[in-house]
Amino acid sequence: MSNSKRYQNSLEKFDPDGFLSGREALEVVKSFERTKFDESIDLVVRLGVDPRKTEEMIRSTVALPSGTGKAVRVAVFAQGEAANAAREAGADHVGADDLASEVEGGMLDFEIAISTPEMMATVGKLGRMLGPRGLMPNPKSGTVTEEVAKAVEDFKGGKVEFRTDRHGNVHLPIGKASFSLDDLVSNLNVVVDELERLKPASTKGRYIKTISVSSTMSPGVRIDPSRITE
């Protein structure tokens, strides 16, 4: 990808070693030559945390005011009335032991997995399948809940889950290339506000170390951490 003509043309539109405000960086990304599909606009933030420490592992969700522009497929592990409510809310896969068996057999046609607390004993056995893909339901992200219908509606409506990787990076989509600049800026600011809110008390030194935005097929454009919301 890095040797493509489109990629090289993109590099000529900005200073790869420079830093911009959040709005300026998104404006540059939107100016890149478009592909035949509506590319995702992705945000990557390097945080000054040590994910090996439980108190500094950040995992949460944020509701993007302008949505993600992506159709999100949701699987719900539930029984009885909760299962019916999940189906009515638009969940793509709903079930209990039967759904667990499908997943164990390799069915992973979803981006979000939600579970009622009572089903977690069953879901926990799927750790080998769900864990490495970041799909394991977790109370901190709102994916283990009695209110499965609301969770389905939230995630399909623009709520996104994020967590630090082993290097302290947070990577999540904040929209599509077709979004207006104002919508992308709004989504960016909400994510940054949420990350600031989640800053661990034990963190020392600079919290937001680096931050950049890019489209699916473009180079990253760096943002000055002190000018993110400008």
If you search the block for the tokens 């590099």, which residue do you land on? 11
If you search the block for the tokens 């539109």, which residue do you land on? 13
SS3 153: helix
Whole-number Å distance between alpha carbons of 155 and 73:
9
What token pair was written down for 35? Answer: 């592909």
SS3 36: coil
- pLDDT score for 105: 95
| pLDDT tens digit sequence for 103-144 | 999 999 999 999 999 999 999 999 999 999 989 999 988 999
SS3 134: coil
Which CATH architecture best describes the domain 15-67+160-227? Answer: 2-Layer Sandwich (3.30)
Mean pLDDT of all residues in 78-101: 97
Which CATH class for the 74-156 domain? alpha beta
If you search the block for the tokens 């000055």, which residue do you land on? 224
pTM exceeding 0.85: no
For residue 185, pLDDT over 60 is answered with yes
SS3 129: helix
| pLDDT tens digit sequence for 143-173 | 999 999 999 999 999 899 898 999 999 999 9
15-67+160-227 and 74-156 share one fold: no
For residue 2, pLDDT over 80 is answered with no
For residue 223, pLDDT over 70 is answered with yes
> How do the domains of the chain map onto residue ranges?
15-67+160-227, 74-156
Mean pLDDT of all residues in 78-93: 97
What token pair was written down for 3? Answer: 């040797």
For residue 1, pLDDT over 50 is answered with no
Whole-number Å distance between alpha carbons of 54 and 77:
27
